[in-house]
């Protein structure tokens, strides 16, 4: 496969983008657009109040909850059990292991980098860890893109894969936006989480896809040998 192929170029670019952002944050670099975008979502002159009606704030908290450990955990368990019951046990185990490992990596990165949460607006959701990278953005990308990719591998149909990826990206973007709207993450936290999530899930799906292709070829040769 050529290095310019999107399936290789996109995760590589995402991985390098994450590394670049992480190095800049560790070095103490700040981004002016981080503050501008956070304040853009607040009532002018009143940084404690998000833009929009009260129901919008509740909707953002609901969306944020979908990217929590509980929300993504239920998605992972449901998808893994479904793959297992449909006979795709390797995919089921790989999905669970990938999400668990990503959760550990997310926690480790937050501790290692230790970026402070936004302090220019009032938080409208509780937080318990450091800011970079956004765990909601990173883990939602890992979980939802992995589920979409693994379902595509199991279904072996491009149309199903496209529908799953479209739905996954819609949810990923909404979850990431909700974290900035609620004032608990800088935009670069979310961007970094997305980049790392794309790279992580792409590697997971590629490795599983390659493994399934090899197994399929071996099985086909065995049938011909009979």
Model confidence pLDDT, tens digit, residues 130-175: 999 999 999 999 999 999 999 988 888 888 889 999 999 999 999 9
- pLDDT one-digit tens code per residue, 7-45: 778 889 999 999 999 999 999 888 999 999 999 999 998
* 90 within 8 A of 213, measured Cβ to Cβ: no
Which of the two residues, 108 and 123, has the higher pLDDT score? 108
pLDDT attached to residue 224? 38
Residues 113-135: what's their mean pLDDT? Answer: 89
At 210, phi and psi to the nearest 5? -65, -45
- Mean pLDDT is highest, among 4-8, 105-109, 158-162, for 105-109
Round to whole Å and give the CA distance between 140 and 144: 6
pLDDT attached to residue 42? 92
pLDDT attached to residue 216? 42
Q: Does residue 225 surpass a pLDDT of 70? A: no
Cβ-Cβ contacts under 8 Å for 83 (sequence gap 6 or more): 89, 91, 92, 95, 150, 151, 154
Q: Does residue 184 surpass a pLDDT of 70? A: yes
Query: Helix or strand or coil: residue 52?
Result: coil
pLDDT attached to residue 217? 38
* 138 within 8 A of 107, measured Cβ to Cβ: no
pLDDT band at residue 223, thresholds of 50, 70 and 90?
A: very low
Q: Does residue 195 surpass a pLDDT of 80? A: yes
pTM: 0.89
């Amino acid at each position: 496969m050529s290095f310019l192929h999107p399936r290789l170029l996109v995760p590589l670019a995402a991985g390098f983008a994450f590394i670049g952002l992480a190095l800049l944050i560790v070095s103490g670099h700040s981004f002016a657009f981080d503050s501008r975008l956070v304040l853009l979502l607040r009532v002018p002159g009143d940084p404690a109040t998000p833009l929009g009606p009260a129901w919008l704030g509740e909707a953002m908290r609901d969306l944020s909850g979908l990217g929590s450990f509980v929300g993504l955990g239920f998605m992972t368990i449901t998808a893994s059990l479904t793959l297992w019951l449909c006979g795709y046990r390797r995919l089921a185990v790989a999905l669970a292991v990938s999400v668990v490992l990503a959760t550990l990596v997310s926690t480790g990165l937050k501790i290692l980098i230790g970026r402070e949460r936004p302090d220019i607006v009032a938080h409208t959701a509780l937080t318990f860890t450091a800011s970079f990278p956004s765990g909601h953005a990173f883990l939602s990308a890992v979980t939802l893109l992995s589920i979409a990719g693994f379902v595509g591998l199991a279904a072996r149909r491009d149309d199903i894969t496209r529908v799953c990826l479209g739905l996954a990206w819609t949810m990923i973007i909404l979850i990431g936006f909700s974290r900035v709207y609620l004032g608990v993450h800088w935009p670069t936290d979310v961007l970094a989480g997305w980049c790392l999530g794309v790279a992580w899930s792409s590697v997971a799906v590629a490795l599983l896809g390659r493994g399934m292709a090899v197994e399929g070829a071996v099985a086909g040769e065995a049938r011909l040998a009979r």
